[in-house]
Amino acid sequence: MSAVAVKYAELKALGVEIFAISTDSRFTHKIWQEEELSKMTPGGVPFPMLSDGGGRVGTVYGVYDEDAGVDIRGRFIIDPDFVIRAMEVLTPEVGRNVSELIRQVKAFQHVVATGEVTPSGWQPGKPTLKPGPSLVGKVWEQWKPEMAFE
């Protein structure tokens, strides 16, 4: 969460709204913010931390672990029409990649703006694909796997 806080201004500039939800109470969030997060990021996390006591929100998004009584860590990219475009759920011992989150947001925004599709590893300014009948069976002519890593 602190890594997202560091990139918060960049995400806001992309039009992204950020909030965190957990089954912890707002009082636990307040203590966590004051005692830990504010020491990792000046001022702590600048976005809302919401409480999902009972796991109702987590259940809707498929991340509530009823036996443990917690929401499993995940992130969701939800577009302005409230369509889930991407989700990533990891167990606590593996952290999420904020740079990949930003890349995906930019890719989804590019797709919406242009109608093009972004291949694996796409970065702004890199080649895209234009979907249509002429592309079928010919992606290999326009995109190579090594382009995902450039």
User: pLDDT tens across 42-88, in order?
Assistant: 989 999 999 999 999 999 999 999 999 999 999 999 999 999 999 99
Q: Which pTM was predicted?
A: 0.91
Q: Answer yes or no: is 19 within a domain.
A: yes
Q: Answer yes or no: is 102 within a domain.
A: no
CA-only gyration radius of the chain, Å: 18
Q: Answer yes or no: is 135 within a domain.
A: no
pLDDT tens-digit readout, 107-149: 999 999 999 999 999 999 999 999 999 999 999 999 999 999 9
Domain count, the chain: 1
Q: Answer yes or no: is 110 within a domain.
A: no
CATH number of the domain that 90 lies in? 3.40.30.10
Q: Using an 8 Å Cβ cutoff, are 98 and 4 in contact?
A: yes
Q: Answer yes or no: is 117 within a domain.
A: no
